[in-house]
Homo-oligomer: A and B are copies of this chain.
């Protein structure tokens, strides 16, 4: 008997132009376009196995081994339904195809990074779901077409269907058919973009992005100006910076847009804060690091960006990452040895230090744990279809034990 099954992995993405606000909460249509860098799946990824089998009772899904309810009309159900509909079309066009669209599916998904890391897993998770179903159903659909469906699972998931530098075009149509992701440039265009994720200890649970962004839409007087007058020109300018591999321009726009996203969150009633004193201290360090570079006649060497939480993501050309790690560790000592996936440091490990001319008074040193961990990664590729050996489902159609 044939087993209809596929496994795929998908990457995390971190936006440079932020998505904040929906014009349609059901279809997940944004109030502005956004742009992100896809991070390398070698380090951070969601992996999903989907199997269609006539012996299954119903659609079921497990996330990190724990079954999640697939609610009627919910985001998971919508994604599965839309993917199944694409398969159905294929089967109707080509009667020789097996009728697997009619079979219930079992889906197992796994993130290789802890939820406690505070990294949004919904983007990579929904992208991996859609990618695995696409492989299961052997759909010819291109990534932009699939991104329309991933978008309905989690808005930013649409950007994880591509590697490299990815724009989510907001679109204009009421049905959302023109609100999808496109590639601005593949990773190969600018592979030198690395990222250092600073996982910041968060003592208090912040406002969820889903509810927070709609409160901003409803109450912030500044958001409309951002949407209409700021984001369109930033989208054009950062796309141009990426095409020209102009890190200075890329960094300026990325930092300005992170700040503006948090500004409109603050302009919300009641105000929303995602950054804390540690986040602010990291900003002060990067601002000073760049100031020294510019004072020495150079250009910006790093860019911070913050999503809906206190973690910093620092984008920089690979050659600067060593200095940045040394800088961060000087102010935020680490309990664990720095995982050094690119071999920047020798046997001696990281030496906490600042570059010459750096004003050390811009931030105060913290104790161990304020920044819980550092993850060094880089721009990466889009979803990968994996082999049977990577299956997360056992022969019984249930998740394998971890």
Contact = CB atoms under 8 A, between A and B. Distances in A.
A271 B221 CA distance: 20
A376 interface: no
A304 to B, nearest CB: 10
Nearest to A364: B203
A225 B225 CA distance: 7
A260 B229 contact: no
Contact of A276 (B266, B268, B277): B277
Contacts of A269: 252, 255-256, 259
Contact of A226 (B222, B259, B273): B222
Q: Is the interface of A mostly helix, strand, loop or mixed?
A: helix
Contacts of A355: none
A270 B284 CA distance: 9
A224 to B, nearest CB: 8
A230 interface: yes
Number of contact residues on A: which range applies? 20 to 34
Contacts of A364: 203-204
Given A204-B363, A255-B269, A221 B260 contact: yes
A283 B270 contact: yes
A280 interface: yes
A40 to B, nearest CB: 28
A242 interface: no
Contact of A263 (B256, B267, B283, B363): B267
A204 B278 CA distance: 13
Contacts of A22: none
A75 interface: no
Contacts of A235: none
A287 B259 CA distance: 23
Contact of A222 (B204, B263, B280): B263
Interface of A: 203-204, 221-222, 225-226, 229-230, 252, 255-256, 259-260, 262-264, 266-271, 273, 276-277, 280, 283, 287, 363-364
20 contacts: A203-B364, A204-B363, A204-B364, A221-B225, A221-B226, A221-B229, A221-B260, A222-B260, A222-B264, A225-B225, A252-B269, A255-B269, A259-B267, A259-B268, A259-B271, A263-B264, A270-B283, A270-B287, A271-B283, A273-B280
